[in-house]
Amino acid sequence: MENSIQDLKISAEKTPSLGGRGASISVFAPATVANVVCGFDVLGFAVNEPGDEVVMRITNKPGITISKITGDNGRLPLDPAKNTVSVSVQHYLQSVGRTDIGLDIELHKKMPIGSGLGSSSASTVAGLFAIKTLLGDDADPARLLPFAMKGEEMACGHGHADNVAPALLGGFVLIRSYDPLDVVRLPHPAGLYCAIVFPDVDVPTREARQIIRNKILMKDAVTQWGNIAGLVSGLFMQDIDLIGRSMKDILVEPVRSMLIPDFYQMREIAMNLGAVSFGISGSGPSVFAFTRDEETAKLITKKLQQHLTGIQIGSNTYVSTINDKGPRVL
């Protein structure tokens, strides 16, 4: 991690600031599905929608302000010392020696908070990509990861990277190691669709992490790492059947599924409709299914939404392919 920050510093110093005063940029960063069922804290992928937008403007006065947040129902702090976007951007500015800059940030939440879709990650990554672009820093976006992880730590008490890494890099990502940070981009079969349903119940990641067991049995570990290796092999081999049969989680899902209304009923519906796999997205309550085509993904979201309506729970649905691009300037 030390090396990453050092390299970033050199790169930013080499490239002159594009940002005259008043320069501004608008960036979108995508939602992500972390864990991918069996890979707790080590696997994640980005989707095309939903996602968040950050508008960043260079100002005259050194320091960061947040002038506006929309779409959060007043839940997120405007105080730059408490907001994950400004805090991670501040860490970045410190590392590149540019705390002389003044910045104003607008955050437009286009996705639900506490959904298990990497909401805080999408905001943080949009902010970091915006400042990197404003400064003309052409370093590999992966260099921004340590700063994005600081944002995660602030949002939920733990700096996991399985949302921020795919949001930043796009595609399917493996966190091979946290110390030292080692992130691997994985291939994936073309034409894999993701059906996402967000049941309108609140599951804060901080709390969903606290209920997980800290110790596991060796026989369970064997099952789990067999499945993770099977999933990664399936991605490389473009073997969708292998991907499907590997996406099983005996460690986390049995506990977290209790926080999700009718989780097992929803799984049965999705699998009966032809899903390749079904599970919790990140820490929930969103659930997702992989499918081989868009029609099946749409049908699954429709039927799951109908099921949730039947038990008086509202929901949002999304159908997407895997997003290989990550953040983009709007």
- Kindly list the catalytic residues: 152, 205
Tell me how far, at minimum, the Cβ of 177 lies from ligand HSE, in Å. 15
- The nearer residue to ligand HSE, 86 or 115, going by C-beta atoms, is 115
Closest CA to 256 of 204, 198, 197: 204
- The nearer residue to ligand HSE, 36 or 240, going by C-beta atoms, is 36
Tell me how far, at minimum, the Cβ of 268 lies from ligand HSE, in Å. 23
Q: What are phi and psi of 227, to 5 degrees?
A: -70, -40
Tell me how far, at minimum, the Cβ of 58 lies from ligand HSE, in Å. 32
Inter-helix orientation angle 119-134/84-95, to 10°: 40
Instruction: Report residue 103 CA to chain centroid gap.
Output: 25
- The nearer residue to ligand HSE, 221 or 330, going by C-beta atoms, is 221
- The nearer residue to ligand HSE, 110 or 292, going by C-beta atoms, is 110
- The nearer residue to ligand HSE, 4 or 35, going by C-beta atoms, is 35
Tell me how far, at minimum, the Cβ of 183 lies from ligand HSE, in Å. 14
Inter-helix orientation angle 84-95/145-156, to 10°: 150
Give 197's strand partners. 287, 317
Q: Which amino acid does the sequence have at 293? A: D
- The nearer residue to ligand HSE, 38 or 270, going by C-beta atoms, is 38
- Tokens representing 166? 């795919």
- The Cα 131–Cα 151 span in angstroms is 15
Report yes or no: 98 and 63 within 8 Å, Cβ to Cβ: no
Angle at 148 between CA 146 and CA 149, to 5 degrees: 65
Q: Classify burial at 68, counting beta carbons within 10 Å of its beta carbon; exposed 0-12, middle 13-18, buried 19 or more.
A: exposed
Q: What residue is closest to ligand HSE based on CB? A: 282
- The Cα 238–Cα 192 span in angstroms is 10
Tell me how far, at minimum, the Cβ of 116 lies from ligand HSE, in Å. 6
Tell me how far, at minimum, the Cβ of 259 lies from ligand HSE, in Å. 12
Q: Classify burial at 298, counting beta carbons within 10 Å of its beta carbon; exposed 0-12, middle 13-18, buried 19 or more.
A: middle
Whether omega before 189 lies within 30 degrees of 0, making that bond cis, reads no
- Give me the DSSP letters along 202-232: ---HHHHHHTS-S---HHHHHHHHHHHHHHH
- The Cα 10–Cα 7 span in angstroms is 5
Binding site for ligand HSE (CB under 6 A): 34-35, 40-41, 116, 118, 160, 162-163, 205, 208-209, 282-283
